[in-house]
Amino acid sequence: MARERAFFLTEEDRFFEEVPRLFAANQARESTRYEAVIYALKPQATSDAVKRVAAFVGAPQPRETEAVARALNQAIATSQYPSAQALLEFKGLGIDLPLATALVHFFRPAFPLYRVEAVASLQALGYAVEHRTTLDEEGLGAYEGVVAAIDRLKLRIPYPFVPESNCFLTRVVEGALVARALKL
């Protein structure tokens, strides 16, 4: 089957072949900042964790970081991958959906960061996904679509194209998608 694919390469097959290079390019771009966040977090989220994650994604600092940290701990405790419904804990706290996904991602790495670039690459690969910023039911549905698409890529990617890294496969795929959109 691998040989058949060699003659009928899809966009997805080409992407898989590019994953090691793309992931490395994205790591070169942001791994220092990413690792400074992920290795500094404690099991229970604090205001400091919220500030670090917000700074990483370039979001404005939430006004009530302690309330966000409490909501984050609740979301971590109740999240059931791949459902994103636990993110509703952040509703009314003045943070948008991409920041909410980032907060959960750093504590539950199976949940991908929800970024415009990753969504653009998924669309280019033929996935009917969209990027939304509002934290509501529709937004969560759109995010769950991205989670499902990345899950499918994780399942389908052949092992020779999975680079060795101390990152969950979700992060590898998401990072490669971002690099693809940025043409790194």
Partner 1 sequence: MAKSISTFEDWIEFFHQWQKDIQFDTTLLGDFHFEAKFAEEDSPVIEFGDYKGRAKWNTLMQVPNQQVRDALLNLIVYQGDTEFASVEQQRHLVATAPSDYDLKSIVRVMAEEQRHGWQMSYLLVNHFGDTGKVEAKKLLERRSWDQERLLGSFNEPCDNWLDFFVFTEFVDRDGKYQLKMLSRSAFSPLARSMGPMLKEEAFHLGTGHTGLRRILQAGKIPTDLIQRRFNKWVPTAFDLFGKDRSSTAHWAYVWGLKCRYDELETDTPVEKENLNDYNRNLYHRECVELATQLNAVLPTGEKQIRIPDLKFRRAIGAYADQRWTVEGEKFTGSEADWNDYLAANLPTKEDDALLAEIFKSNDWIAPKGK
* Interaction site with partner 1 (CB under 8 A): 1-3, 32, 35-36, 38-43, 80-81, 107, 109, 157-159, 162-169
Closer CB to partner 1, residue 41 or residue 184?
Answer: 41
Could you tell me the smallest distance in angstroms from the CB atom of residue 45 to partner 1? 10
Closer CB to partner 1, residue 88 or residue 169?
Answer: 169
Could you tell me the smallest distance in angstroms from the CB atom of residue 66 to partner 1? 19
Any residues with CB less than 8 A from the CB of 18 and at least 6 apart, and which? 176, 180
H-only helix segments in 63-136 = 65-78, 97-107, 116-124
Q: Mapping DSSP to helix (H, G, I), strand (E, B) and coil, where does residue 1 land?
A: coil
Could you tell me the smallest distance in angstroms from the CB atom of residue 95 to partner 1? 22
Closer CB to partner 1, residue 7 or residue 159?
Answer: 159
Cα 41 vs. chain centroid, distance in angstroms?
17
Q: How far are the Cα atoms of 49, 73, 105, 145, 181 from residue 41, in angstroms, in the given order?
A: 6, 12, 12, 28, 29
Closer CB to partner 1, residue 1 or residue 128?
Answer: 1
CA distance 90 to 101: 10
